[in-house]
Amino acid sequence: MAFVRFLAGVAVVAAILVGIGTLIARSADGPLGPVAGGPFTSGERHAGPLPDWSFLADRDTVAFQLLEPARSRTTWIMVHDGRLFIPCGYMNSTLGRLWKQWPLEAEQDGRALLRVDGTLYPVRLDRIESGPEVAPLVAELNRKYGAGATVDAVESGALWLFELQPRDA
C-alpha cells in the first residue's frame, strides 16, 4: 500500500511539473524544442515577396506560429520546386487528434509567421489533400526523415500537408 501511495505521489508531482513547464513554454519567445511556445516576440519581419525556399532544403526543422491562437511550435519541413511545405502525421489516430491541435486550427485560420534565422516571414498555411505535388512531397518526406509515408496516407487524412503561401498583412 505504501508503494501505491508513493507512485501516486510521483504521478502528482510529475503532473504538476508538466503543467508548470507548459505554462513557462507558453510564455516563451517561440517553442522550446518539441513543446509549443508562445508567440514570437523577436525577429525582423520580412518585407516583399517570399523567397525561393531552396535554402531550407537540408534544414531539419523550423519554428512557426499561428496568429490565432498565438502559439508557436517546431516542425519538420520539406522543400519542393522552391516551395515550402509542413507535414503533420498521426491525424487519423486518437492520440494524434488530442496531441496535434494546430493542423485543425490552421485549417480554420491559416495565417502564420515562419521564423528562420531570426527573420519572420508572414505566410498562410494551405492544406493539400491531393494533386500532382503529393507524390513528390511524400518522397521528400521519406528521403529526409525516413518517415515511411505514402500517398494513401495523405489522401486518407492520416498525413496532412500544408504549403506555406504568401499572405496579405
The pLDDT, as a whole number, for residue 169 is 55
Domain 2-166 coded CATH 3.75.10.10? no
**Domain segments of the chain: what residues?**
2-166
pTM: 0.84
Distances (CA, A) of 76 to 14, 34, 105: 28, 11, 18
CA atoms 27, 29, 32, 33: torsion sign: positive
94-152 per-position pLDDT tens digit: 887 777 899 999 999 999 999 999 999 999 999 999 999 999 999 999 999 999 999 99
Supply 145's cell numbers: 526523415
58: left (phi over 0), alpha (psi -120 to 50) or beta: alpha
CA atoms 151, 154, 156, 159: torsion sign: positive
The pLDDT, as a whole number, for residue 115 is 98
The pLDDT, as a whole number, for residue 21 is 53
On whether the CB atoms of residues 87 and 160 are closer than 8 A, the answer is: yes
The pLDDT, as a whole number, for residue 168 is 76
The DSSP bridge pattern shows strands 119-128 and 78-80 to be unpaired
Q: Does residue 13 carry a pLDDT above 80?
A: no
The pLDDT, as a whole number, for residue 94 is 84
pLDDT winner (highest mean) among 3-7, 9-13, 101-105 = 101-105
The pLDDT, as a whole number, for residue 66 is 97
The pLDDT, as a whole number, for residue 20 is 54
pLDDT-derived band of residue 156, with 50, 70 and 90 as boundaries?
very high
The pLDDT, as a whole number, for residue 90 is 87
CA–CA gap between residue 68 and residue 110 (Å, rounded): 8
CA–CA gap between residue 124 and residue 45 (Å, rounded): 15
Distances (CA, A) of 50 to 103, 118, 119, 126: 22, 15, 12, 15
23-72 per-position pLDDT tens digit: 554 556 678 878 899 999 999 999 999 999 999 999 999 999 999 999 99
Residue type, 40: F
